[in-house]
A = this chain, B = another copy of it.
Amino acid sequence: MKDVITIACGQFQPVFGDTTANLLKVKDFVEQAAANLIIFPELCASGYEFKGHRELQALALAPDSSEIRCLKEIARDFRTHIVLGLPERNSGKVYNSSILIEPSGKTTIYRKIHLFDREKRLFEPGNAEPSVVRTEIGRLGMMICFDWIFPEVVRILALKGAQIICHPANLVLQFCQRAMFARSVENGVFTATCNRVGAESRAGRTLNFTGASQILSNRGATLAQASDEKEEVIKAEIRPAEADNKMITTLNDVIGDRRIDYYKSLIV
């Protein structure tokens, strides 16, 4: 396990429907970042605003697709861990998913459990509790965009030992960027939110995405911050093991101090 690693966010504007162009951008940014871990936006393989199910099905990727194989090669060639959002086709259903690709070629999928707005009409919601992946650079958790507003998600990942939250996003407001401070501090974890930039005018409306991707420390410090509008890579050096120290005073463990006997209402 490495002591110090570099993590990055590759903030860009996907070209709707052009998976090849988007994966080339991913490769470009992986090379430019030269990081141990790089996070890309939600649905950045495809773009966001699908006109309907047919278009979504056409652009969805299966785990054994040539595109995923291509991403595995990139992760291997650059010895990096890649987290990236894609429409994932599986048994005829399409999920709003995030894939973690390790240099070894091992992949892990997380399927967004809290769908936002029109996504509810397009995607199958995720069907599993968020889980944590042990890698050679630390224990990683994934969530996607709107999952941020449910404190349960990062909490569950932290309880399962996550050190770094990998958070692909397509944010149209900047509420999330403001709130992630709380997620880092309340759980003592590193968070890396990678948002997209640019506008998408499709399906009769225009969405403007708000950039401002950010990497926060386990104590809530802003380690790196992208602009609102530019495509760019941001990076930070971190020690993932620092997230294992949950003591915020000599007497307070921000996880261990939880009073679960008095939290019963949370899941009824």
Q: Which residues in A have some Cβ–Cβ distance to B below 8 Å?
A: 113-114, 116-118, 120-121, 125-126, 128-130, 146, 149-152, 155-156, 159-160, 175, 178-179, 181-183, 185-186, 220, 248-252, 254, 257-260, 262-268
Contacts and interface: CB of A to CB of B under 8 A. Distances in A.
Given A156-B262, A266-B266, 13 more contacts: A114-B259, A116-B249, A128-B262, A129-B262, A129-B265, A149-B254, A150-B259, A175-B185, A178-B181, A179-B182, A260-B266, A263-B266, A264-B267
A187 to B, nearest CB: 9
B267 A260 contact: yes
B155 A117 contact: no
Nearest to A160: B265
A17 to B, nearest CB: 24
A55 B155 CA distance: 38
Contacts of A258: 150, 152
Nearest to A116: B252
Given A116-B252, A151-B151, A183-B182, A263 B156 contact: yes
B130 A186 contact: no
A150 B268 CA distance: 19
Total copies of this chain within the assembly: 2
Given A263-B266, A263-B267, A149 B251 contact: no
A266 B117 contact: no
B181 A117 contact: no
A134 B155 CA distance: 30
A262 B113 contact: yes
A220 B175 contact: yes
A235 B126 CA distance: 43
Contacts of A248: 149
A181 B185 CA distance: 13
Given A185-B149, A258-B152, A117 B251 contact: yes
A258 B147 CA distance: 10
A153 to B, nearest CB: 9
A163 to B, nearest CB: 17
A114 B249 CA distance: 13
